[in-house]
Amino acid sequence: MDHYAVFGNPISQSKSPWIHGEFAKQTQQTLEYVSQLVELDEFEVQVRAFFAAGGAGLNITAPFKEQAWALAENLSDIAKLTGAVNTLYLDNDGKLCGDNTDGRGLLRDLKNNHGATLNNKSILLLGAGGAIKGIMPALIAQNPASITIANRSVDKAQKIAQIYADKTPIAVFAYAQLPKQAYDLVINGTSAGLKGGLPPVPAETVSAHTLCYDMIYGQGETMFQQWARQQGAKKALDGLGMLVEQAAESFKIWRQCEPDTGAVIAQLRQILAQSKP
C-alpha cells in the first residue's frame, strides 16, 4: 500500500485525509493518507524520514511551504516562481521534487465550478503572503486586463510584483491608498477571517458585476463573503472548492488519474454544514 501524508502545524483541522480517501474510493485505489503534526524545527528531518521509510508523497501546508520549496531538488516551473511548494514526491532517480498546485486548484474552482472567466478582467488581490504568491503564475497565464495587489506592507507586495515584472505590470497599493473603483474579481488571500476580521478594503472595490473569492472557508459563510454580499457583489465564494481542486491536482501528480471533484466538494460542504454548532 502506498503511503501519503499532509505535514503542517497546526494540522488537526485538515480535511486532506478525508478528501484523498474519497478520491481513492472513486478511483478504486488502495492507499493510506494521514495528517501529521510536525514541530517547527523538525520539518526537514521528518520529510527525509517519511520518504526514507518508503512514503509515496506529501502535501505541505502552513507554515512549511517555503521550507519545502528550499528542500526540493527539482522544482516545477510554477513552484520556482511562487517560492512555495505544497506537493512533494520522488522522481525515478530518487530526487525530491516539488510542485505548487494552489493556482491550478483556484482556476479549476473558478472556471469549472463557477463558470468564471479571467481573460481581460481586472483582478484585485488582498494580501501578499504565501497564499497570494502561490496563485500568481496561474492568474497571469489567464491574461487578465490588470492585476492589483493591496497589502498592509507595500514592500511585500512590491517584491511579488517585481518577480513578474517581465510578464505583466502589477499595481501595488496599501489598503488606504487603493483607488475607489470596482474590480471584476477580488480575491482575499489574507488570514484575517480566521481571527474574525477583514482586510480594510474600500467598499467601492465591489460592484454588482464583481466576483469576490475568499481563499479560506468555514462551516458557514466567511466574514469576507458576508462583507462582499453587503456590498452587492455578483457572487461571494469561499475557498472550499479550491481546497478540493488543489488536492485533486496533487492526486493526479501522484496517481496519474483525475478524480471527480464535484461530488467531493458537495459532500464536504454538507459535512461542514452538519457540524455547525
At residue 224, φ and ψ (nearest 5 deg) are -65, -40
Beta bridge pairs of residue 236: 212
Residue 65 known to be catalytic = yes
Q: Which of 127, 136, 79 is nearest to 103 (CA)?
A: 136
Burial 30-43 (b: 16+ CB within 10 A, else e): ebebebeebeeeeb
For cell 494580501, the residue is: 127
- The three three-digit cell numbers of residue 101, written as one number: 498546485
Return d(Cα 135, Cα 100) in angstroms, integer: 9
In the set 15, 65, 121, 133, the catalytic residue is 65
Q: CA–CA separation, 255 vs 15, rounded Å?
A: 19
What gap in Å lies between CA 108 and CA 262, rounded to an integer?
Answer: 11
Q: Which residues are catalytic?
A: 65
